[in-house]
Amino acid sequence: MKIRLIGALVTVAVLILLVFSIPLATFVAQVERERLVTALERDAFVLAGHAKETLNTTAGSVLPSLQPYVDSYSKSSDARIVVTNASGLVVASSDPTIAFGRDFSNRLEVAGALKGLPAVGERDSATLGERLLFVAVPVLLGDTVLGVVRFSNPKSVVDEEVQRHVKGIAVAGLITLLAAALVAIPLALTIARPIGRLRASTERLADGDFSVQADDTKGPPEVRELSRSFNAMAGRIGLMLESQQQFSGAVSHQLRTPLTALRLRLDQAQDAVGDDMSPVAIALEASRVEIDRLQEMIEQLLALSRLEGGSAATVTVNASAIVRSRIAVWDSLAAERQITLKVLGLETAPCVALEGALEQIVDNYIDNALTAAPDNSTITVEVHRVQRHIHVDVIDEGPGLSEEKRALAFERFWRGATTENAPGTGLGLAIVRQLAVASGGVAELLPRADGNSGLVARISLLAR
Ligand SMILES: Nc1ncnc2c1ncn2[C@@H]1O[C@H](COP(=O)(O)OP(=O)(O)O)[C@@H](O)[C@H]1O
Ligand SMILES: [Mg+2]
């Protein structure tokens, strides 16, 4: 979070820097290039002024008096200087390798200047084997061209100068960036810290702690505002849940007493009627079954509302041992229908769960599997470790459930069409899911991996 915020701030700084620096660098490069050319031009014109006198009086002959000028200009401007007479023959040069009298009239810029036109530009030099930046100006007396002064610099020298300036901008940019990073880090920390605390509060709320309060006294005003809203929200959710639980708890509790009384009366009535097959006896027996179901439903609703009440402490349990002990309990009921209960997988499987939760989950899964399974079939309970989790799978050979129904099955009171007439309340899997969540695990229904008909009811708990 902090790192990301710092990254974002620095990225913004880099972007701003690029947006400003690239045009600035291009502009500076252009100005610098023009400045260098103008300086060459100025020197060339000044030297042309000196050359005018000498070339005028002694046109064609080599004049020693021009050489000191050429040398001093060449030194101050770093340029190669060539002065020619009106026929384009060299009369002075800063380069000792250029012989006096050498014909320069074939150089384009010299030819142009000989016609009275100053020239500025770039061209590849065959003699030097590199690109030249040149300035050639005519030495004029009135309209007469007396000769040409040419200043030239290898382009690489000019580019180096330009690059030096651009580098200066880059260094300034880097320093700015460093400064931005130095500002970004404390800034990011002041924003990230209170947001991090707020996130911790949200996580506690998600874990079911509705008493959580975010600190609304620290951080930027927006975050404090957010913390206040969060506190108000957590408080309201807490109150709502509490009153809802109290209500459903109270309802279930209040229903228990009259139901127990009703059950007692029914028993007495059945005793009075005796166990004959009269319509009254049959009706009484049917009522008793319904009352039993209602009672079971109320017990389960009570259990659900207790579970939603909050987070109880988890313990480490051995899934394999629990599975074996529950199977021992269900075995005789299964045997009545020639259904085999089989255990596969790990001998010990320590994992995290709410105390007593895994027993209830396995009971519900086996109960459902027995309802769905045909006679003479096998129900297999497998205990596996998959990465950091222990999986307990209850696998039957019944009709299974479609993908859509597998998702619905965990809803309260949802019952499949095939089990509608079997005893049950439609609350079993809803309780399983609550128990799983409270244990930090996941309950899910899956199709059989081998493609056979049947269902895999899985509880996955954190391994210890
Ligand atoms: N192993 C299973 N095979 C087929 N259907 C199942 C299986 N387990 C659960 N179901 C379906 O899911 C429904 C909901 O299950 P549950 O919540 O335990 O309620 P109940 O068992 O009281 O009907 C069941 O009514 C049944 O239709
Ligand atoms: Mg059930």
Report domain extents, the chain. 2-161, 235-307, 314-462
Q: What's the gap in Å between 365 CA and the centre of ligand 2?
A: 7
Taking the mean position of all CA atoms in its chain, how far away is CA 396?
42
Question: Nearest CA to 52 among 127, 149, 190?
Answer: 149
Give residue 309's pLDDT: 65
Question: Nearest CA to 407 among 443, 354, 452?
Answer: 443
62 φ/ψ angles, rounded to the nearest 5 degrees: -75, 130
Q: Which residues have a beta carbon within 5 Å of ligand 2, which is an ion?
A: 368, 428
Ligand closest to CA 421:
1
For residues 135-156, one letter each, b for 16 or more C-beta atoms within 10 angstroms of the residue's C-beta and e for the rest, the string is bbbbbbeeeebbbbbbbbbbbe
Categorise residue 138: left if φ over 0, alpha if ψ from -120 to 50, beta otherwise: beta
Q: How far apart are CA 267 and CA 262, in angstroms?
A: 9
Name the CATH superfamily for 2-161: PAS domain (3.30.450.20)
Burial of residue 68 (CB within 10 Å: 0-12, 13-18, 19+) is exposed
In three-state form (DSSP H/G/I as H, E/B as E, the rest C), the secondary structure along 158-172 is HHHHHHHHHHHHHHH
Question: Nearest CA to 93 among 73, 118, 120?
Answer: 73
Architecture of the domain defined by 235-307: Orthogonal Bundle (1.10)
Task: Give the residue whose CA is nearest to atom 18 of ligand 1.
Answer: 428
Give residue 64's pLDDT: 55
For the Cβ of 431 lying below 6 angstroms from any atom of ligand 1, the answer is no
Give residue 37's pLDDT: 85
Give residue 61's pLDDT: 54
Give residue 40's pLDDT: 86
Residue 305: CB atoms within 10 Å: 20
Q: What's the gap in Å between 369 CA and the centre of ligand 1?
A: 8
Q: Which of 429, 456, 458 for mutating ligand 1's site (highest number of atoms within 8 Å of CB)? A: 429
For the Cβ of 397 lying below 6 angstroms from any atom of ligand 1, the answer is no
Q: How long a stretch of residues is the chain?
A: 464
Give residue 331's pLDDT: 95
Give residue 316's pLDDT: 95
Helices (H), 207-220: none
What residue type is assigned to position 359 of the chain? E
pLDDT digits (tens, 9 = 90+) for 161-220: 888 888 888 898 889 888 888 888 888 888 888 888 888 998 888 877 888 898 888 888
Q: What residues contact residue 68 under an 8 Å CB cut-off, 6+ apart?
A: none
Q: What's the gap in Å between 242 CA and the centre of ligand 1?
A: 30
For the Cβ of 447 lying below 6 angstroms from any atom of ligand 1, the answer is no
Which tokens is 74 given?
A: 């060449």
Q: What's the gap in Å between 196 CA and the centre of ligand 2?
A: 42
Q: What's the gap in Å between 34 CA and the centre of ligand 2?
A: 89
Low-confidence ranges of the chain (pLDDT < 70): 1, 57-64, 309-312
CATH class of the domain comprising 314-462: alpha beta
Structure letter (DSSP) for residue 418? G
Do residues 151 and 44 make contact, with C-beta atoms less than 8 angstroms apart?
Answer: yes
What pTM does this model have? 0.54
